[in-house]
Amino acid sequence: MTAGTTGMDWVEPGSPEEHREEVTGDFVKTFGAPPGGVWSAPGRVNLIGEHLDYNGGPVLPFAIDHRTMAAVSPRSDGRVRLRSRQHERGWEGSATSARPEDVEPWCRYPVGVHWAMRSMGWEVPGFDAVIDGCVPSGSGLSSSAALTCAVAVALHDLAGGRRLGSSGTDRDEDRRVLAEACVRAENDFAGAPTGGMDQSVVLRARPGHALLLDCRDFQGEHVRLPGDAELLIVDTRAQHALTDGQYGGRREACERASAELGRSLTEISPGELDDELPRLPDAELRGVVRHVVSETQRVHAVVEQLREGSWSRIGELLAASHASMRDDFVISTPELDLVVDSAVAAGALGARMTGGGFGGSAVVVCPERRRPDIAASIHEAFARAGYRAPGLLAVQAGAAAHKVTPPTSHPSHPTPVRPPDG
């Protein structure tokens, strides 16, 4: 880091090897034997295309190098036992009869994955698992998708990829169906509304690339991210939760607008807005339609610029995206607005909020070697405003969820994992 960056809260991803060793050691300490394997899944950042996934539009997310680890072993009795290095309370019970209201809230995500995969034709076993999450929770970086996808890939591998009607040899198809299972786990078991973008990129990402995802059919195209900029994620520490109703309220507003107009919002062209907006009964619905239509166009424009091999011309597009989410979709916060304004003033190529909104994080595109100075400017702006210091993540576009190499040894003094209450 450069001068002026001391005292700032850089949230490091940590060493994958150390995390693997630690979660393995905790598994041995808790369950008395090594795990069947350790699986890793990333958080994600959406570069542009917010709230378009459940509207069937295009999005442009990429995986980050902050990841969740899951040490997992199969069980033959259909039971699940869960522990976490981040939560005091775990859970254990029957995977086949568990109801969401009986399961510890964070455990609903992995238990929901088991339920969804089983209902979709996978022959998944019960399992023991210890989770170590290094994706900041509540930051808008999809720690929930990292958790569900790490468990889904583990169960897929432990079941030998066996799904009714599947050969188990088509990795892309299995990853698409696994993403669907993870969406069902979050929506129907954990009670968290999500549109499928997060799970798709966590399972299908490629290092150094974003995933241009068409959310009508979830076909994807990898778009290389040019090397002439550095990416900074700023966690405002204004936490949000998909289960608090605000995200769901915006999704419901989009559904109402679509019903009023009799068509998908992403089918509307900018030239049709003057005719379509007066048909809507209130300002809220007119705002969400303006955002969806304009954001769809911005996604394609950003992809076109990235394909030309440079970040230099996307600043106005990112600024317009943030303004749309602030003014039309109404999901920004003063902290997110301050990140964007102070980053651009300090020389960022572009910045915008990312994630579901109402808190969470912003993504900042920094010129090469300017990331620490821009981070310092944002940190100072937060201090002047009296806000809690933000978390700062220097990220690269990382790899999809996968099994990591098993450790060759276990720590001699593993951190104890607390048993579940009761």
- For residue 274, count CB atoms less than 10 angstroms from its CB and return exposed for 0-12, middle for 13-18, buried for 19 or more: exposed
pLDDT of 117 > 80? The answer is yes
102 is catalytic: no
pLDDT at 161: 76
CATH 3.30.70.890 fits 229-395, yes or no: yes
Q: What is the pLDDT of residues 172-191, one digit of tens each?
A: 788 999 999 999 999 999 99
pLDDT at 410: 44
Grouping H, G, I as helix, E, B as strand and the rest as coil, residue 234 is strand
0.75 cut: is pTM over it?
Answer: yes
pLDDT of 261 > 90? The answer is yes
- For residue 171, count CB atoms less than 10 angstroms from its CB and return exposed for 0-12, middle for 13-18, buried for 19 or more: exposed
Q: What is the pLDDT of residues 340-388, one digit of tens each?
A: 999 999 999 999 999 889 999 999 999 999 999 999 999 999 999 999 9
- 185: DSSP letter: I
| Mean pLDDT, the chain, integer | 91
pLDDT of 237 > 80? The answer is yes
Residue that is written with structure tokens 């990140």 in the block: 339
CATH 3.30.230.10 fits 13-223+399-404, yes or no: yes
Q: What is the pLDDT of residues 124-168, one digit of tens each?
A: 999 999 999 999 888 889 999 999 999 999 999 998 877 766 655
Measured distance CA(349)–CA(207) in Å, rounded: 22
Tell me whether strands 91-94 and 79-84 are parallel, antiparallel or unpaired. Answer: antiparallel
Domain ranges of the chain: 13-223+399-404, 229-395
pLDDT at 242: 61
Confidence of residue 97 (pLDDT cuts 50, 70, 90): very high
Instruction: For residue 58, give both structure tokens.
Output: 């295009």
Confidence of residue 193 (pLDDT cuts 50, 70, 90): confident
Catalytic residue from among 53, 128, 198, 235: 198
